[in-house]
Structures are given as C-alpha cells and as structure tokens.
C-alpha cells in the first residue's frame, strides 16, 4: 500500500450493506457480525465460526498507512528532546563516562573500558533500532537493556563485527604505513584518499550492518557481506537515502565535537571540577544524532516491512478490531466440523541445535505453526529467503495467512509458483495469492495481474473460472 492510501472496505458476502470483520477459512465468505458466531474448540481456545458452513474464520486484516522515514524525523527529534528522552540519554552518557574511566586502570584497563563502552552504547542503540522497527516513535525504556555482563559482551561483539568493514582496513593502514598516517593526521585525515575511501565504504555499508546487528539472532550475520548486501538490495533507492542521512549524522557529529570542546573549556576555564560536571552534558548532546540515526534505520525497516518479508511488519491491523460475533451457530454444523477437524497432537520437539531453515522445514511437516513462524522470522531477519520446495511454500503460505501476515503469505505463494510452473499446485498458489491481494489487502490491480496469468496459463482449470471475479 502506498503511504497515506486508504484501506478498502470489505462488505459481507451475504449482507451487502454490512461491513465484514472476518473471512471464513472454509467457504471463503466475508462475514459481518450477524454471519459470525463465537465458539470454543479444545486446544485452540475461543474461535469465530461461519454460520453458513461452520468453518473457522479469521479477522480480515487491512494495511495501516505508514509515513516514510524522512517524515518521521521531526517526531523522532521531539521524542529525543523531550524531558524523558533527554533523561534517558543523560543516564546512558553517565554510564559511558564511567566505562571510559576504566581506561586508567593499569594493564588491561583500556581493553575493559572499550568493551564496556561499546557494550553500553551498542545495547542502547540496538534497542532504539528494534523499537522503531516495531513502529514505536519513542525511546525504549532503559530497563530493556541487558542487565547481565553477557548482554553487554554480546552487544559489543555485534557492534564490533558490524563495523569491521571500517576498523580492520583502518588498522591495517595505520600499521602498514605509520609515517603516512602521521603525515595525513597533520595535514588533515580527510585529504588522505585511503582514509576517505574507508569512510565512504563505511557510510554505504554500515547502516545495513547495524540493522543486521540489531535484528538477527546470530552476531556473525552482522559481519556477513552477503547478508548485508541482501538488506541493501531489497530497497536500493531508499537505502541510498538512508546512507546519505547516516553520512550527514556522522559528519555532523564530527563537526560538533570540537565545538562542544571549546564551549566546555570556555565555561570551565581552568577548573577541572567544572569540566567533570560538564562532561555528561556534552556526552548527552553527542548522543542525540546517533540516536536519531538508529531510529531512522529502524523505521526504514518498519516502513518497508513487505520488502523485507517481515511478518505483519506492524502495519497490518484488524479491519474491525471491536467487532463482536452476534450470529447463532447450528449445532449440526458444529458437530460436522468437529468430525473433520484434524487432531491436535503435540508435535515432537525439534532439535534445539537445528538451524532456522531446518526448524522451519520440520515444523511445517509436523504442523507446528508457532515454531514455523518463529523460524521464518529468524530467516527473514537475517536477510535470507526460505529455501523450501513447492509443497512447503504452500504450507508456509497457509501458516502465514492464519497468523494474519497476508503479505508474507502472498510472497510465499509467489515463490511456490516460481519453483515449478508445471507443478499441479501452481494454479492453487496463483489463485490464493490473487484472492489475498484482492480480498485481504485490497490490491486489486496486483490481484488482476495474477488472475490474468492464471487464466492465460491454465485456461481449462476450474480455478481459472473462479478467478474471473478478480478480472471484473
């Protein structure tokens, strides 16, 4: 859906003047409150049933318009500069200064100071990015940051790996040509072509690397160029804008550093005590732009949830969240449905050591929706696409649709079609993708294209006849 576009209103299949709140998973009818009835199924809990066929219905989901990241900058600035936002930055700044003081400890003090400094800063920025990825416009609570030493070490490792593309070449250049580096430092580092090249590459590479550092389960993905370029190529045009914004933030903070230092010296004079008191204030100011940058990075993912195959992406909401089923269900239909309901035997436990791909494949075979969804999200967060056969893609699409992730279901159906056009389930995949686009997401033009392809490719198939409604 384009930003600002209105979600289509879906009408009840039976009562044409009534708005539909649910869609039957069996007969496919759109249901208003009079066509839906409440029920309770063992091991499933409370469900909504269609009074026409007794099938279990799910809420119709519509897409909520999402502003692009550049329009959110004023709101993000407002959240950062609010009393609560500045307070959080001040606390983080004090923690960073305390970590910095560890460098005065003999022997390994500098190393410990660097680890704790990077761990505290990394934990904070990672939670900032994760929060805006979920659609939050405020800074996260500091209580969400890691409380264990292992959490700080993990955050430090993620940030170190994510920025390896910058600091490794930089160190190599320093140690391979110390005299050249010293000469460049005297004349201006920005005039050094090697330093300038490292900075340019870093500006283009680091935003995607930081996104992976915050969203992927494996810290190693943050240092995986394939995964990083996978993020970049999902939305190259918008990513370029993100990279330019990151460059502005980087150079802005670099220009701000000497200004703040001069102000501190002017205010403090020769008083070391006043300089010490000013240090957390100046550090708080220096945190504003990096925090804004990570909020923007998270919103970039939130805004493009469909491109990144994020389940729901926080952009799908129930069409009628306050609707309550008012229909009466025939007991004959209930008994008939119970006779054909599959047994809900608890699936065998998956191996804890299995990869997300293995867990996804295994959970689809066992019919475990929760593990399948969790595994799918891990794969997508790592910048990868599930490697499944046609049948598994079809099963995954159904899991995603049941979970309300209509966009993800469409993507899965489309991948199933691309696997093998000659597969007998290809017409089903095309029809279901068109159905979700048309009825669930209101993307009628996209549904029309898929329906036309289905009719042209499989003219004699029964689903081609049903697909005619999408072409009207």
- Residue range 68-85, pLDDT digits in tens: 899 999 999 999 999 999
- 3-state secondary structure (DSSP) of residue 310: coil
Residue 315 confidence (pLDDT) above 60? no
Task: Write b or e for each residue in 189-220: b if 16 or more Cβ atoms lie within 10 A of its Cβ, otherwise e.
Answer: eeebebbeebbeebbbbbbbbbbbbbbbebbe
Share in percent of the chain as helix, strand, coil (round to 5): 65, 5, 30
Q: Give the whole-angstrom CA distance, residue 461 versus residue 418.
A: 19
In the chain, % of residues over pLDDT 70: 85
pLDDT attached to residue 58: 82
Residue 187 confidence (pLDDT) above 90? no
pLDDT attached to residue 69: 92
pLDDT attached to residue 64: 65
Nearest by Cα to 268 from 257, 278, 258, 256: 278
Q: How sure is the predictor about 6, in pLDDT bands with cuts at 50, 70 and 90?
A: very low
Annotated domain spans of the chain: 1-65+317-344, 69-303
Helix or strand run (H / E) with residue 28 = none
pLDDT attached to residue 443: 78
- Residue range 150-159, pLDDT digits in tens: 777 888 888 8
Residue 26 confidence (pLDDT) above 50? yes
Least confident of 42-46, 134-138, 193-197, 240-244: 42-46
Q: Give the whole-angstrom CA distance, residue 452 versus residue 375.
A: 33
Nearest by Cα to 415 from 396, 400, 439: 396
- Residue range 439-462, pLDDT digits in tens: 888 778 888 888 888 888 888 888
- Residue range 377-424, pLDDT digits in tens: 777 766 577 888 888 888 898 888 887 788 888 888 888 888 777 778
Structure-model confidence comparison of residues 379 and 285, the more confident one: 285
Q: What are phi and psi of 57, to 5 degrees?
A: -105, 155
For residues 223-250, average pLDDT: 90
The per-residue pLDDT of the chain, averaged, comes to 82
Structure-model confidence comparison of residues 264 and 352, the more confident one: 264
- Residue range 198-210, pLDDT digits in tens: 888 898 999 999 9
Spell out the alpha helix ranges (H) of 269-322.
272-303
Residue 272 confidence (pLDDT) above 60? yes
pLDDT attached to residue 286: 94
Q: How sure is the predictor about 190, in pLDDT bands with cuts at 50, 70 and 90?
A: low
Residue 48 confidence (pLDDT) above 80? yes
Q: How sure is the predictor about 241, in pLDDT bands with cuts at 50, 70 and 90?
A: very high
pLDDT attached to residue 130: 86
């Amino acid at each position: 859906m384009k930003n600002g576009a209105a979600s289509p209103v879906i009408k009840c299949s039976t009562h044409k003047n009534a708005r539909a709140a649910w869609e039957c998973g069996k007969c496919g009818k759109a249901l208003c409150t009079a066509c839906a009835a409440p029920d309770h199924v063992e091991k499933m809990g409370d469900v909504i049933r269609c009074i026409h066929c007794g099938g279990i219905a799910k809420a119709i989901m519509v897409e909520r318009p999402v502003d692009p990241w550049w329009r959110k900058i004023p709101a993000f600035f407002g959240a950062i500069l609010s009393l609560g936002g500045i307070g959080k930055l001040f606390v983080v700044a004090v923690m960073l200064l305390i970590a910095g003081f560890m460098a005065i400890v003999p022997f390994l003090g500098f190393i410990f100071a660097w680890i704790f400094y990077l761990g505290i800063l990394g934990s904070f920025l990672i939670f900032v990015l994760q929060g805006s990825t979920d659609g939050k416009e405020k800074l996260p609570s500091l209580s969400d940051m890691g409380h264990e030493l292992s959490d700080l070490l993990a955050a430090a490792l993620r940030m170190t790996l994510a920025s390896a593309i910058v600091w490794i070449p930089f160190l190599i250049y320093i140690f391979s040509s110390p005299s050249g580096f010293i000469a460049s430092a005297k004349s201006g580092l920005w005039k050094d072509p090697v330093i300038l090249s490292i900075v340019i590459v870093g500006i283009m590479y680091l935003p995607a690397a930081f996104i992976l550092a915050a969203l992927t389960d494996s810290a190693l993905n943050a240092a995986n160029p394939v995964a990083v370029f996978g993020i970049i190529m999902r939305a190259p045009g918008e990513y370029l804008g993100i990279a330019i914004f990151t460059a502005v933030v980087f150079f802005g903070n670099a220009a701000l550093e000497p200004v703040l230092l001069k102000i501190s010296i002017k205010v403090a004079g020769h008083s070391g005590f006043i300089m010490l008191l000013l240090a957390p204030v100046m550090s708080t100011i220096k945190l504003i732009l990096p925090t804004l940058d990570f909020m923007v990075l998270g919103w970039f993912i939130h805004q493009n949830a469909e491109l990144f195959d994020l389940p729901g992406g926080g952009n799908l909401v129930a069409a009628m969240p306050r609707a309550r089923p008012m229909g009466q269900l025939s007991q004959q239909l209930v008994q008939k449905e119970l006779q054909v309901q599959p047994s809900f035997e608890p699936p065998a436990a998956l191996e804890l050591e299995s990869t997300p791909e293995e867990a996804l494949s295994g959970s689809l075979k066992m019919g475990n929706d929760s593990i399948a969804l969790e595994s799918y999200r891990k794969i997508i967060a790592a910048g990868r696409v599930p490697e499944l056969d046609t049948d598994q893609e079809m099963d995954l699409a159904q899991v995603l649709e049941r979970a309300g992730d209509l966009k993800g279901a469409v993507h899965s159906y489309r991948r199933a079609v691309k696997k093998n056009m000659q597969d007998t389930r290809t017409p089903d995949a095309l029809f279901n993708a068109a159905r979700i686009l048309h009825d669930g997401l209101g993307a009628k033009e996209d549904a029309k294209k898929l329906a036309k392809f289905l009719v042209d490719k499989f003219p004699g198939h029964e689903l081609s006849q049903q697909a005619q409604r999408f072409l009207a």
